Structure 1
Amino acid sequence: MIKPLSITLAIAAAFPQFAQAEEELARVVVTGSNIRTSQKEGASAVQVLSAKELAATGKTTVADVLRSISANSGNSYNEQYTGSFSAGTAGLSLRGLGQKNTLILVNGKRVSPYATAQELQEVFVDLNSLPLAAVQRIEVLKDGASSVYGSDAVAGVVNIILYKEFKGTEVSAQVGSSTEGTGQLERSASLQTGFGSLDDQGWSVVFSLDALKRDKLQQSDVSYLRGSDFRGNANGTLAWTPTNYYGTSDPTRQLGGVQGPLQVQNYGDITPGKSGQVLAFNPAEFRTLIPGVERVHTSLRGTLKLNEDTEAYAEGLYGYSWAEQTFGAPLTVGSGLRAWNNAQQKLDNISVVLPVGHPDNPGATPLPFTATLFDLGARQKQDKVDFFRVLTGIKGSWNGWDYDASVARSGSKLKETVQNFVNRYAFEKVLADGSYNFADQSKNSEEVRNRLRLSTLRPAESTLTVADFNASKELARLPAGALGFAFGGQWRQEEMNSNTSTAVLSGTELRPAINIIKGKREVAAGFAEFNVPVLQDLTLNLAGRADKYSDFGSAFSPKASVRYQAAPWLLVRGTVSRGFRAPSLPEITNSTSVSYGSVIDAKDPVTPSQPRGITNITIANSQLSPERSNNFNLGFVVSPSANSSVGVDFYHIRTKGVIDTESTDTILANEAAHPEKVVRDAQGRILTLYRQYANQGERVVSGIDLDLRHKLAKTAYGSVTLNAQLSRVFKYEQPLSPGEPLTNGAGTNYFGSIPKWRGTTSATWELGQWNTNVAWNYVDGYEQTTRPGERVKPFATVDLNVGYKFNAATSVNLIVANAFDRKPSWDSSFALVDYTQGDPRGRFASVKLNHKF
């Protein structure tokens, strides 16, 4: 595998001799500051993706664009995470610090987070709810910005900037399909139109609409995954699921025979070291890799020039998203089957025992058993989300001040429906009266099946109300330049109300999953910023922000940054800041979650070396303190010419009081001291682990970003532009358990998959009516820590976008993602591939038609 640094050096070698380039630049506000400057490169590293660069990627969603940047180094999820309480969504995790530490803005203003939490605790903005057609550019600030924006900007900020003015109308349509026989299709279309002119008419209106529909992809649709036979991979087995047997721990005691998807398999092929034969099924047909989705986004923005110095503006965003997936195989009943007891806030055990006289019980004593209810059908799930933001404001200049004031209301509303879950009371009845045949389910009546089937609705809603104001001015002219000053304030109210279904609360649903969050907070903040020209080529920026939260208290976030133009071709920059992350509403307010996982328990009397499925009950902690962070960034930009630049930026983030729950290993190691955290059955096997959020310890993250850009001089063979953004993680350190020393997870999956290298290198070639972009995407390998000795291999793909302009108005593009059909690397901890890093679709080809009126 070619190392990313080789690509970096190859591009750097193409640069010509250093040359000074002078350029007059307008004064603008760049993400990360409230002060207008004319500096092309600031004290903080900001990656800018222009509309032209966005189009060159060939990607159809904001999520696909942002998740491919190199700084998205781990711990972020998209719709491939189908086991999530936030199915169908996509987030961004700069520096691998989680979606909750990356702030997403639209036109420099906040939008509502998703209706419920990802991974039980992560409050995040769903990128799938945001429009792409309306985007003029995206700015990615890669250092901490709590001093300017607030607590959720510890890892960085993404500012999605929409068109303020647009001339004419542009429409596009795109259709694509997997070339690998999966049957997956994707269709998308967009419209962008604009009216008026601020300069000529004093007003402007821009409207955009984009829509996307993509088919569902099942594991059984992918040729190399459909058999669920991974014995050729490290630690791989025949990943079939044993079921339908008497007792709770020996699946060779078969209940009934081959039926539905059940087949007879050797137990040792599924669980090495075992003998005998079992009834088992292939889970591939019941597993969705990528949900089917339908999305529509609209954006409407209007600007009115009140006078030469004042503008009023208003905008509305709306996003509709629908995602459909197979939630899982039909329910398996057996040991550990439970239902929720809302009055006591705990799980009640449900007996799964064949009574004497039951047709499936051949003996004279009650008989425990395990069975999958195949005739009820696969469990299905659909998530419908409505997202909106309405905003109005006024901006302009008065008496030397530039100001901007706005108010906004934003929200995200979820309705999740499921089918073919199981009614606890109907199950207990058919078990007692023998009216359901577990051994031969073809004999069951449709009336009995319908009694057992359960469909439910889970609602959730998140809202955000914000009032913002900021103003800036040149306070004085110093010998080295203008002394800039900015100040402002913000008030916002955050509310989240994530419920569960009435069937769960009444104890009706078997094996319930719960993510209940109910909380509200108010935040008031004031901030100030100075831009001080110390020398002609040396600028110091000082900023500070005080935030007061209604639920935990106050925090102050200072920041200092230096920009030194050491030579016309050399910029040196650095920032030092202190930040914080306020406990999220799921972590600190009225919150209870029931989720499912697995554990290897050395005390297990049956399978001490094999994973066993368990239930996790996680509760909030009103006594949490915020996470406190110290950020340090140091870098330089070399600009040999107006067409070339090399940026190198080092970052170091130390966070204290990281909020999390105790690890499974810690809970089990301290079971004697805290037996209330571990619930075992009569055999001594773990059923439930109780967890609570707490300030656990420290985390240290460091690394380096490389940004290389070069545009070759135009010749008879056209023009070529080269870009590379590469990120190298040096440290991602946390204790494995509270009180233990820090362990470096860079290049491992100790703390989520954190590859040491991530990068995208691209080349764009324009020749006459042709335009071609080739991008190489690289994800480094990492050590699989739960299976020592296994290393997940690096993964690289090549994307191709070839466009042809018929005339100035009409063009067509052929877009091929993963042109060489590279398969994502095997990772036994995911039992397939790491969906946070790879995509199982293989080669995907699309055609796009674009026309301007």
Structure 2
Amino acid sequence: MKYRTSPLLFALAAAFPGYASAEDAAAPELERVVITGSNIRVTQKEGPSAVQVITAKDLEGTGKTSVADVLRAISANSGNSYNEQYTGSFSAGTAGLSLRGLGQQNTLILVNGKRVSSFATAQDLQQTFVDLNSLPMEAVQRIEVLKDGASSVYGSDAVAGVVNIILYQQFTGTEIKAQVGSSTEGTGQTEKNVALKTGFGDLATDGYSVVFSADAMERDKLQQSDVAWLAGNDFRGYKNGSLSWTPTNYYGTDPTKLLGGVQGPLQLVPYGDITPGKTGNVLAYNPAPYKTLIPGVKRVHTSLMGTLRLNEDTDLYADLMYGYSSAEQTFGPPLSVGTGLRAWNNATQSLDNIAVTLPVGHPNNPGSTPVGINATLFDLGPRLKVGRVDFYRALTGIKGTAAGWTYDASIGRSGSKLKETVDNFVNRYVFQDVLAKGTYNFADQSKNSDALRQSLRLATLRPAESTLTTLDFSASKDLFALPAGDVGFAFGGQWRREEMDSNTSTAVLSGTELRPAINIIKGKRDVSAAFAEFNVPVRKDLSLNVAGRADHYDDFGSAFSPKASLRYEPYQWLLLRGTASRGFRAPSLPEITNSTAVSYGSVLDPRDPVSPTQARGITNITRANPELKPERSNNLNLGLVVAPTKDTSVGLDYYRIRQQGVIGTESADTIIANEASAPQNIVRGADGRILTLYRQYANQGERRVSGVDLDLRHRIVGQQWGNVTLNGQLSRVLTFEAPLSTGEPLTNGAGTNYFGSIPKWRGVTSATWDLGKWSNTLTWTYVDGYEQTTRKGDTVAPFATLDLNLAYQVTKQTAVGLTVLNLGNKRPSWDSSTAFFDFTQADPRGRFASLKLTHKF
């Protein structure tokens, strides 16, 4: 059989990319395999595009327990990706990947070379993405990261690159693992992991193979108040820091006009400590106990892979995956009511203002006229959220050879289903009733009855579901021979149906929930595609690859993506390569189909009659646009690999990506600046202050990104002192250019947080020392500093950590290990724009140590 994947080949490719030694020449002929980014099977260990291979041994060496943690640590993950630390998201508890900083929607995630369903709802209202937390870890044999655009092979979403997660197709025996870890910093956070992998049958000898794996993880919730240096929310010792407490419980719009006194978490503090320049005292509270930094999670993943050999040329296969994930967090402090309180009006598709005014005679109104207030309903308790996700993929297919063709045909169905429940939200109608009757005491909430509190509390369910149905076919063969070798050809087609139904709760739709956040998405579309690829050996040392793919979407139309690449190996120790391609990202269903979103933000309004120089909170209503066109991209990649010895290789690759028609909404500054020509986009209250901004997705400006990747590998083969493998990846963002606002010139955001935090440098270096029964890995991760653009002159310092993973083979069947993440207990760098640190670049856990036991049967 010539079409089976060779684990040995990829192990060699990972250790010595681009090098063919004399020993290789004497070895048996390498099997022909498909490497991510192509449909043609080759024997070359390095193709024309840079592919980072993370082997099973590499995965073990990281000491990490999830696919998300492994992938998010690679240097090409430049920025604008999120994990479960993004607790304010509609996709809380998830994790994604953003190669080149272009966003999660521009990185395509595959499992065994095939698409899987995106998460049930959108990130940041518009980004559809694959949730890495829903994918199994124990089943992974290797991960291939293509650091080049690949729309010519895979279609939409592959603008920045492709991640192909390859699961074990064959495995013999049974292996169990157990791991328990805890923070060493007194946060109380622990993590427990168990895993099982078992398999039987060998295709070559038995004619079948079955592999089953399961892994489970439970991790405690981490509150901000659990972390010693964050617990007080007092950052006055940092540049541009302040006492980040929240003023509340006051009359009118002046926080110094106190409503009641100290109660619950409220304390009397100088207003100037919170907002420099202010005088007087305010009632304020520390929000740290109400902020979840990392949710408490429970996850279970299972995978079942089966292959049946019908004859020497034909295999039937099935791929079943199921994952369950639960993320529990404190959504926020108890609800604050006052200016800007709203409820959704489904009939008008807008927000109704809810007046928070104490009538005359109310126990908290000492005057003879109605008076507005701002207050926090502490006695109702913090608002809580639990998101439960069920993910699955069922795929079956047939592959083999016939009439000289190698083919693969499959049909699959994948889905992600979310059930998100929230507690301690507030019932609008009950609130308005008790406000009018004066039965709720804002000034001394201890006097409110439990029955009254319970009547105000509201629990809701938000459902969402995303599904993907696919039909795939591809075939390849050598067409004819040229003097330099065989001309390879591949072709194929795909049909898929994408569906998303992300709803909101009935309480929101009926107008019952106060201050709702909404992300309603309902739509589906069919996509059909055809593709072809040629690999032409021009000379023995020079090959040309050309590919093209035509995609048709039933909503916006068609897109064609061509690609050409060259691979030149003039010497055994030198490889030169380059690709030029066009790509696209189709408008996501939230952007182009029937969708409505309500979110909250802040703006600086120069026409604000009260505070024209201070930002204040407003509501955003964002709408889809059925007239959208796809984002188009041009990609250029140039690289070389130098391998002076069989144990050393150096790879250097340059990339440049130019996108046109990037989809987004106008910035708040642009909307406010153009109020005279488009007044319908702004709703102001009776006092002249902005209440709501209306936005709509549109194809806007251009984005240009460029950078270089450096890949270093060296192996020291010893005898008495064992073997040492050095492995380093370093990425440098040269440019990340986009307009700051519609119509403005491009601004370079590399090394700034203009467009999300984009550090110029990211690096990961590891050293693995294998000595007898010991296998030990030390990993250094570096994230460069960057400019904090909202406060000129303020920079965020570089951040680096060391991870240690020790493994000892006690017996042939049993191994034990110790993992210490963040060995030096480094704190994330201070970032005044986020109040403490940027969670897209670091996490606050500090040192985290784990013990691991592995046993094989």
Q: Same fold (TM over 0.5)?
A: yes
Q: Does residue 692 in structure 1 map to residue 700 in structure 2?
A: no
CA contact (8 A) 1:19 1:640 kept: no
Question: Which residue number in structure 2 is paired with residue 9 of structure 1?
Answer: none
Question: CA deviation digits over 1:766-823, x for unaligned, max 9?
Answer: 1111111000001001001111111011000000001111011111111000000000
Q: Does residue 236 in structure 1 map to residue 241 in structure 2?
A: yes
Correspondence for 2:635 among 604, 628, 631: 631
Q: Does residue 778 in structure 1 map to residue 782 in structure 2?
A: yes
Question: Which residue number in structure 2 is paired with residue 215 of structure 1?
Answer: 220
CA contact (8 A) 1:661 1:694 kept: yes
Distance between the aligned counterparts of 1:595 and 1:566, measured in 2? Answer: 57
Question: Which residue number in structure 1 is paired with residue 709 of structure 2?
Answer: 705
Question: Which residue number in structure 1 is paired with residue 279 of structure 2?
Answer: 275
Q: Does residue 465 in structure 1 map to residue 469 in structure 2?
A: yes
Q: Does residue 610 in structure 1 map to residue 614 in structure 2?
A: yes
Distance between the aligned counterparts of 2:610 and 2:803, measured in 1? Answer: 49
CA contact (8 A) 2:20 2:572 kept: no
Q: Does residue 197 in structure 1 map to residue 202 in structure 2?
A: yes
Misfit runs of 4+, over 3 Å: 17-24
Question: CA deviation digits over 1:517-575, x for unaligned, max 9?
Answer: 00100000000000000011000000000000000000100000000002110000000
Question: CA deviation digits over 1:200-247, x for unaligned, max 9?
Answer: 110000000000000000000000000000011121110000000000
Match of 1:180, SS state, is coil
Question: CA deviation digits over 1:370-395, x for unaligned, max 9?
Answer: 00000000000000000000000000
Report the Cα offset of residue 19 of structure 1.
7.8
CA contact (8 A) 2:421 2:460 kept: yes
Distance between the aligned counterparts of 1:775 and 1:288, measured in 2? Answer: 28
Q: Does residue 47 in structure 1 map to residue 52 in structure 2?
A: yes
Report the Cα offset of residue 608 of structure 1.
2.7
Match of 2:600, SS state, is strand
Question: Which residue number in structure 2 is paired with residue 62 of structure 1?
Answer: 67
Report the Cα offset of residue 601 of structure 1.
2.2
How do 1:467-482 residues align onto structure 2 when only pairs under 5 Å count?
Answer: 467-482=471-486
Q: Does residue 376 in structure 1 map to residue 385 in structure 2?
A: no
Distance between the aligned counterparts of 2:754 and 2:437, measured in 1? Answer: 49
Closer, same or farther: CA 736–20 of 1 in aligned 2, 3 Å: farther
Q: Identity of aligned pairs, percent?
A: 73
Q: Does residue 141 in structure 1 map to residue 154 in structure 2?
A: no
Unpaired runs of at least 5, structure 2: 1-15
CA contact (8 A) 1:25 1:40 kept: no
CA contact (8 A) 2:477 2:488 kept: yes
Amino acid at match of 1:366: P
Question: CA deviation digits over 1:412-444, x for unaligned, max 9?
Answer: 000000000000000000000011000000000
CA contact (8 A) 1:515 1:593 kept: yes
Question: Which residue number in structure 1 is paired with residue 13 of structure 2?
Answer: none
Correspondence for 1:742 among 742, 746, 752: 746
Amino acid at match of 1:198: L
Distance between the aligned counterparts of 1:647 and 1:606, measured in 2? Answer: 58
Question: CA deviation digits over 1:667-708, x for unaligned, max 9?
Answer: 111112112212222222221111110011100000001111
Q: Does residue 584 in structure 1 map to residue 588 in structure 2?
A: yes
Question: Which residue number in structure 2 is paired with residue 448 of structure 1?
Answer: 452
Q: Does residue 293 in structure 1 map to residue 297 in structure 2?
A: yes
Distance between the aligned counterparts of 2:838 and 2:641, measured in 1? Answer: 34
How do 1:110-259 residues align onto structure 2 when only pairs under 5 Å count?
Answer: 110-247=115-252, 249-259=253-263
Task: Count residues with an aligned counterpart.
Answer: 838
Report the Cα offset of residue 339 of structure 1.
0.2
More displaced stretch, 424-433 vs 829-838? 829-838
Match of 1:471, SS state, is strand
Distance between the aligned counterparts of 2:833 and 2:618, measured in 1? Answer: 17
Correspondence for 2:499 among 485, 495, 498: 495
How do 1:388-787 residues align onto structure 2 when only pairs under 5 Å count?
Answer: 388-787=392-791
CA contact (8 A) 1:80 1:835 kept: yes
Correspondence for 2:353 among 340, 349, 354: 349
Question: How much is the aligned-residue C-alpha RMSD, in angstroms?
Answer: 1.2
Question: Which residue number in structure 1 is paired with residue 34 of structure 2?
Answer: 29
Question: Which residue number in structure 2 is paired with residue 3 of structure 1?
Answer: none
Distance between the aligned counterparts of 1:206 and 1:22, measured in 2? Answer: 31
Match of 1:359, SS state, is coil
How do 1:274-353 residues align onto structure 2 when only pairs under 5 Å count?
Answer: 274-353=278-357
Distance between the aligned counterparts of 1:148 and 1:21, measured in 2? Answer: 34
Question: CA deviation digits over 1:350-406, x for unaligned, max 9?
Answer: 010000111100001010000000000000000000000000000000011000000
Question: Which residue number in structure 2 is paired with residue 72 of structure 1?
Answer: 77
Report the Cα offset of residue 509 of structure 1.
0.2
Distance between the aligned counterparts of 1:195 and 1:407, measured in 2? Answer: 25
TM-score (norm 1): 0.97
CA contact (8 A) 2:724 2:767 kept: yes
Amino acid at match of 2:378: F
Report the Cα offset of residue 21 of structure 1.
6.0
CA contact (8 A) 1:20 1:568 kept: no
Question: Which residue number in structure 1 is paired with residue 108 of structure 2?
Answer: 103
Distance between the aligned counterparts of 1:626 and 1:158, measured in 2? Answer: 22
Distance between the aligned counterparts of 2:268 and 2:299, measured in 1? Answer: 42
Question: Which residue number in structure 1 is paired with residue 4 of structure 2?
Answer: none
Correspondence for 2:269 among 265, 268, 286: 265
Report the Cα offset of residue 268 of structure 1.
0.3
Match of 1:65, SS state, is helix
Distance between the aligned counterparts of 1:149 and 1:773, measured in 2? Answer: 35
Report the Cα offset of residue 606 of structure 1.
2.8
CA contact (8 A) 1:499 1:515 kept: yes
CA contact (8 A) 1:392 1:407 kept: yes
Match of 2:839, SS state, is coil
Q: Does residue 847 in structure 1 map to residue 851 in structure 2?
A: yes
Amino acid at match of 1:539: S
Match of 2:68, SS state, is helix
More displaced stretch, 509-518 vs 784-793? 784-793
Question: CA deviation digits over 1:260-293, x for unaligned, max 9?
Answer: 0000010000001100000000000000000000
Distance between the aligned counterparts of 1:191 and 1:383, measured in 2? Answer: 26
Amino acid at match of 1:595: S
Match of 1:66, SS state, is helix
Report the Cα offset of residue 20 of structure 1.
6.3
Distance between the aligned counterparts of 1:175 and 1:733, measured in 2? Answer: 44
Unpaired runs of at least 5, structure 1: 1-13
Correspondence for 1:823 among 802, 824, 827: 827
Distance between the aligned counterparts of 1:503 and 1:57, measured in 2? Answer: 45
Match of 2:100, SS state, is coil
Distance between the aligned counterparts of 2:791 and 2:500, measured in 1? Answer: 38
Distance between the aligned counterparts of 1:289 and 1:193, measured in 2? Answer: 36
Distance between the aligned counterparts of 1:824 and 1:664, measured in 2? Answer: 30
Distance between the aligned counterparts of 1:139 and 1:543, measured in 2? Answer: 20
CA contact (8 A) 1:617 1:689 kept: yes
Distance between the aligned counterparts of 2:466 and 2:693, measured in 1? Answer: 29
Question: Which residue number in structure 1 is paired with residue 805 of structure 2?
Answer: 801
Question: Which residue number in structure 1 is paired with residue 5 of structure 2?
Answer: none
Amino acid at match of 1:554: S
TM-score (norm 2): 0.97
Question: CA deviation digits over 1:475-526, x for unaligned, max 9?
Answer: 0011000100000000000000000000000000000000000010000000
